[in-house]
Structure 1
Amino acid sequence: MPAPVWTIGDITVHRIDETELPPETGPWLLPGATPDVVAAAPWLRPDFARPDHGLRLASHSFAVRAGGLRILVDTGIGNGKDRANPAWNHLNTDYLTRLEAAGFPPGSIDLVVLTHLHTDHVGWNTRYHEGAWVPTFPRARYVVARDEWAYWSAAELDAARRQLFRDSVHPVYDHGLLDPVDVPATGTEIVPGVTLVPTPGHTPGQVAVRLSDAGKSALITGDCVHHPVQLGRPDLSSCVDIDPAQAVATRRDLLASLAGTGTLVLGSHFPPPTAGYLRPDGTGYRLDPAPAE
């Protein structure tokens, strides 16, 4: 099945599926999104919530063609890696086959944008080859916000995080491909039409990615918004937010800036249809889906 694709002017965005996340992910990740809360937003069903009001979540990347460049936004969980989460431990998916089928063979990628340095966003940074973890995208510049890199470089990591940095981040750094960039409050355009937008709270240096061309725009959320239920309830925090209060404030500001603007919102963990337009709904917002072309 072809990768879903959306267009923003001359920019194309492909969703590269990795895996659907198991049902128990929702109660763990967003404990405040109880069945009653989900049931109060009937527009979430059937795409974003199951009949039992559990959350549907997915892991995928967005592969972007912009200005003649091939760009990958986040790299998922990865195959064959030691992970504390049983659902992610030694995963085995056809992710690279899907990426190549969409026209993005690993050797063609010019730029990898890492919205933040969490396990499920950096996994395909590397692959196992001849006894070592090596960069999957050897020609690419791997971009991360400088604040994000500085935070994790100084943090005292638990065993699970040490492992993910050892197999998925440090090999990229050691090969000279990691490029921490300054991201001011106004954002920074890293290539024409592709802008990093600061969205701190989930992690200190997390970014969203704005795509703009020919008067049209889209925004890839990163984990500023994990699930569409947070559109109606921006106060719902993730259990892994480093600064929950800041995450809520960031989410409120971002959603207010998007609602009614015609900006296509692409959720980094939203299951199909994944994309849509934000509009006011009561005291919050809802997503009007925009099916892939």
Structure 2
Amino acid sequence: MTSLQNQSSVRSLTLGQVRFTYVVDGAMAFPPAGFFPSVPPGEWTLDLLDEHGMVPMSAGGLLVDIGERRLLIDAGLGPMRGEAGGGTVNCGSLLDTLSGLGHHPSAVDVLALTHLHPDHVGWAGAFGRHAVAAAEWKASPEMAWLAAPSLLEDGDEVVPGVSAIVTPGHSPGHTSFLITAGAERLLCFGDAFHHPLQLNHLEWGSGPDWHGDSVPAARRRLIDEMLVPGTLAFAFHFGDQPFGRVSRAADGTIAWNPVPSTVLAGPPRLLA
């Protein structure tokens, strides 16, 4: 069973000939009022929070085995434990999780980055080839240690079957990745959404958003993609519901519907 209240297990899903695996780095949790300042307090029902009244948000990377290529999208937070960003974190297991799946970082052809916030680049230095949106790279001089990444524009192909959707808002060049798997697709939407509550309120931003006024348009474009028949989605931070579909009811309401996935291992780290 999956739940928004729990940290994510290491989960795998296969579509056609493409295998997706959430390579979990560790656990994070943030206070709802602090991380989601525009969400009315009454929206936070007990089934959305962990036992400490926090919003669970695992960190990690999405491993995509597609054709002859192996792509990793994002690289977790890296070794960190304790208080961070107003919340609590316990991360640092991504390479161990990857090893448990039978892979060394050298087996990854390219690390594609949705954006350059700390909880998505923690292990980036362990991988040899990187790809990131040109706008994101230009706005992040502190990431100069990331040697010569391939710079992406909206619509560019990272590897065959994987294209970039650049939608500034959460960050200057925040990028989602659309993966084609035969007749189906999967959209990895990064941090465009941190919680399913935001699917119905595009204006409900997140604390780290770079330009909140741009977020609703970015989200609208991604929802339109997710509503295309045969499209699934991947969420880094939706508790233990990383894989799902969105649906639209007759009244226009958008729902997140978790889909079954194979549990390969439990959460590698938990919060005290």
Match of 1:37 in 2: 43
Distance, in Å, in 2 between the alignment partners of 1:88 and 1:152 is: 25
- 1:83-98 to structure 2, matched below 5 A, reads 85=85, 93-98=92-97
Match of 1:103 in 2: 102
Superposed CA RMSD in Å reads: 2.7
- 1:1-293 to structure 2, matched below 5 A, reads 3-24=10-31, 26-39=32-45, 46=47, 48-50=48-50, 54-79=54-79, 85=85, 93-125=92-124, 135-137=125-127, 140-153=128-141, 165=142, 169-173=143-147, 176=148, 178-181=149-152, 183-184=153-154, 187-259=155-227, 261-281=229-249, 282-293=251-262
- Answer 1 or 2: which has greater strand percent: 2
C-alpha change, 1:191 and 1:64, in structure 2 (3 Å) is same
Shift of 1:88: 7.0
Contact 1:233 1:284 in 2 (8 A): no
Aligned residues: 254
SS at the partner of 1:171? coil
Distance, in Å, in 2 between the alignment partners of 1:113 and 1:82 is: 27
Distance, in Å, in 1 between the alignment partners of 2:161 and 2:79 is: 31
Contact 1:18 1:76 in 2 (8 A): yes
Shift of 1:86: 7.1
TM-score by length of 2: 0.83
TM-score by length of 1: 0.78
Contact 1:201 1:246 in 2 (8 A): yes
C-alpha change, 1:61 and 1:13, in structure 2 (3 Å) is same
Contact 2:30 2:88 in 1 (8 A): no
Contact 1:62 1:73 in 2 (8 A): yes
- Answer 1 or 2: which has greater helix percent: 1
Distance, in Å, in 1 between the alignment partners of 2:86 and 2:170 is: 22
Contact 1:275 1:289 in 2 (8 A): yes
Report percent identity of matched pairs.
26
Distance, in Å, in 2 between the alignment partners of 1:273 and 1:265 is: 10
Uncovered stretches (5+) of structure 2, i.e. residues with no partner: 1-7, 263-272
Structure number with the bigger relative contact order (C-alpha 8 A, sep ≥ 6) is: 2
Larger Rg: 1
Contact 2:77 2:92 in 1 (8 A): no
